[in-house]
Chains A and B, each alone.
Chain A
């Protein structure tokens, strides 16, 4: 039973929470939704910080709570990163890190102290007082502090939302490497589609205390019936592997089963998994595979469905030969001119690709 199962039902005044989902016990599952959708309530219930009268929380084969049992938070092997770093002000940085670490029996410590310090780049901060740290540094310490308890589930409640843009950009790579370095499953609460695109493997979308969609992040982010694709920066995610480097033109090729994609040269080993993001507005459509165009990335695809987003523009959801989804934003006029309809085969011309990880 390598999965995480969560079923919660509770009534808090006007707000009712009725959430039920199961997600694989690996990778990052994003709990996505607007503020007030119940994301944080779910996380707090999973942590045991609030008691939900009817609830089931199971992590692999360990039941943390059901109708009869309730393990208090300090007996659940989890790590929790709060929105604000919430470091203990009366303890030094090192003491903060050691707080949880020392409370875990030695034989259960699976993550060495130094690995965490190194991964998060906090070696030089250890002797400092928490008051002297910047927002980004504080959050890195908080993440390290949670990791040092060797958690079996990592819960993160919008860990970047209290940070400015610059600090956010410096922490994201740490979160990504976390994912590669340790095999701790995590639940990541966020309302930012870009953050989710970069970090999440799976998504659970919440609205008014209920799950409205769940599945692979790449699928959910491009579903036209969900509010996500309606954002101006609607985008799709493609997964592939680094297949070769072009030294002459300074390109890196990433191959998927549905076609290969060139990005600006990146120093990545061949065979490494790569995730790229493609903005819907950067994808144009063509009935034939042109060779007389400046665009390098041309992928064959099939139209799945379409959705008008304004009186001028529409989103077209395409499926590549390997089943991955691509979103294209074109004008309704072009769609009419090309006779775009479901099931039609055409070519997606991708003008710009961003490497996420």
Chain B
């Protein structure tokens, strides 16, 4: 969920709506004159506010602006989980960001802590999607930013009542999902900005789930329920996740760090995802806590 980085009231509240991930924004929602204050605000919020299990992301300003590097320093020092890089066009830009992160992390003695999500918001970015997705081990996901992309494409955004709804983004979405899958990272879809048209929003969420996306960026807590509903784990996923978690419990009891399910080794991200599936299933009221 996007939260403007210069609005303390919204920043302290965002967590209660239960988004999987909160993205504090230093870029487009912050005016030039307030870049410095927002950076300090985000830094202090990350350090102080208890966001529970929520994944904390900060969208920084592009490194090519006077703000980008300062943003990186401020949020890495505050222990952010993920930095979202806006308007990513090439793998080199990701590598440049990685270098900046390493510089700060080395100072702090915590190299490898910060992950990267790249927002692809141009035609060149879409063309380079796979290269971007594999540019760094820190890459955890790529996301589509549709407004800038469409402007660059010279296409109009289609509305919900158009027979061509979503056509302008078809190629970008498919490319991003494919690149993410090939790289083994998450694919996240762009925001839907008309808060009053919940029906079209739901259609779009269903569509991007069908296309293979892992999640949807949102701009308001009111949109969370629809995304959760559409993405609510199905019976099969829940069973699989329960098996994985049972295997972990068993491994812990044996005192073994190695976890295997059906003879296959289970990596940490798989465990995390299994836990998330179960959390989501409980949150959606599909299963009860006692069933685990």
Is the pairing of A and B real?
no
Q: Which residues of B contact A (CB under 8 A)?
A: none
On A, residues with C-beta under 8 Å from B are none
